[in-house]
């Protein structure tokens, strides 16, 4: 991983986890400085257990797991962050729900139908492509959610920063769509080579 890749990973994951904590209630018993120290500690814990690669697709699954396991609207503990991160081994950990198994696509589709907030990973990127392809969410509904998300970005950040984030999300989604529609080339199997056994003068001798 290059220095640029490390910086990009750090920026992406830090933005995600601090944004998540901003939506939760900090411990009431802590003062402002103690809350800042606690947040920094949780971010460090999170960064230790987040993957080095595939973190953009990994984050929505982690966020879902953390929300599903949460008992309150308060900040998670370091132990809860560690447990959620270790439970999500990577973006490929999503499985089709059977019985009481957990299917993030189904859960987030239901959230969107109910008008609830979902992670940006389900609006842009591979998971968004899968969500629409599954038929659980329509293209029109996805466009409405993206429009609301872009409005939120512009309301939250300065316009240049918001536009840069939108461009990054759209580029990620374009790459995911291209990958999803890329034809799989059949893999040519190697042809077996006949094994030639050298003939000796004594072969066939009486």
- Residue from 166, 139, 142, 172 nearest 152 by CA: 166
Q: Give me the pLDDT at residue 67, please.
A: 86
Give the whole-number percent of the chain exceeding pLDDT 90.
22
Q: Give me the pLDDT at residue 17, please.
A: 92
Q: Give me the pLDDT at residue 182, please.
A: 65
Q: Give me the pLDDT at residue 14, please.
A: 92
Q: Give me the pLDDT at residue 97, please.
A: 39
Q: Give me the pLDDT at residue 191, please.
A: 53
The mean pLDDT value for 13-20 works out to: 91
The mean pLDDT value for 6-19 works out to: 89
Predicted confidence (pLDDT) at residue 19 exceeds the cutoff of 60: yes
Q: Give me the pLDDT at residue 189, please.
A: 47
Q: How confident is the model at residue 195 (pLDDT cuts 50, 70, 90)?
A: very low
- Residue from 90, 85, 88, 71 nearest 42 by CA: 85
Three-state secondary structure readout of the chain? CCHHHHHHHHHHHHHHHHHHHHCCECCCCCCHHHHHHHHHHHHHHHHHHCCCCCHHHHHHHHHHHHHHHCCCCECCCHHHHHHHHHHCCCHHHCCCCCCCCCCHHHHHHHHHHCCCCCCHHHCCCHHHHHHHHCCCCCHHHHHHHHHHHHHHHHHHCCHHHHHHHHHHHHHHHHHHHHHHHCCCCCCCCCCCCCCCCCCCCCCCCC
Would you say 131 and 142 are in contact if contact means Cβ atoms under 8 Å apart? yes
Q: What is the mean pLDDT of the chain?
A: 80
pLDDT tens, residue by residue, 105-160 = 888 889 899 888 888 888 888 888 888 988 999 999 999 999 998 998 888 888 88
Q: Give me the pLDDT at residue 154, please.
A: 87
Please identify which residue in the block is written with the tokens 């103690």: 34
Q: Give me the pLDDT at residue 146, please.
A: 92
Q: Give me the pLDDT at residue 180, please.
A: 76
The answer for residues whose C-beta is within 8 angstroms of residue 141's C-beta and 6 or more apart is 112, 113
pLDDT tens, residue by residue, 58-112 = 998 898 888 888 888 899 999 999 999 988 764 444 443 344 445 778 888 898 9
What is d(CA 140, CA 116) in angstroms, rounded to the nearest whole number? 16
């Amino acid at each position: 991983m290059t220095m640029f890749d490390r910086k990009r990973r750090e920026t992406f994951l830090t933005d995600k986890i601090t944004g998540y904590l901003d939506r939760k209630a900090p411990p009431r018993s802590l003062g402002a400085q103690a809350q800042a120290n606690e947040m920094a500690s949780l971010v460090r814990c999170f960064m230790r257990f987040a993957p080095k690669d595939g973190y953009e697709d990994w984050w929505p699954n982690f966020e879902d797991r953390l929300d599903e396991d949460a008992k309150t609207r308060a900040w998670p503990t370091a132990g809860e962050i560690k447990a959620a991160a270790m439970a999500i081994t990577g973006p490929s950990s999503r499985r089709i729900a059977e019985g009481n198994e957990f299917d993030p696509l189904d859960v987030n589709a239901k959230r969107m139908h109910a008008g609830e907030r979902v992670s940006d990973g389900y609006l842009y990127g591979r998971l968004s492509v899968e969500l629409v392809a599954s038929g659980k969410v329509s293209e029109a509904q996805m466009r409405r959610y993206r429009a609301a998300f872009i409005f939120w970005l512009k309301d939250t950040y300065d316009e240049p920063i918001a536009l840069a984030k939108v461009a990054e999300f759209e580029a990620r989604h374009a790459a995911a769509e291209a990958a999803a529609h890329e034809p799989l080339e059949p893999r040519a199997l190697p042809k077996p080579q006949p094994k030639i056994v050298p003939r000796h003068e004594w072969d066939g001798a009486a």
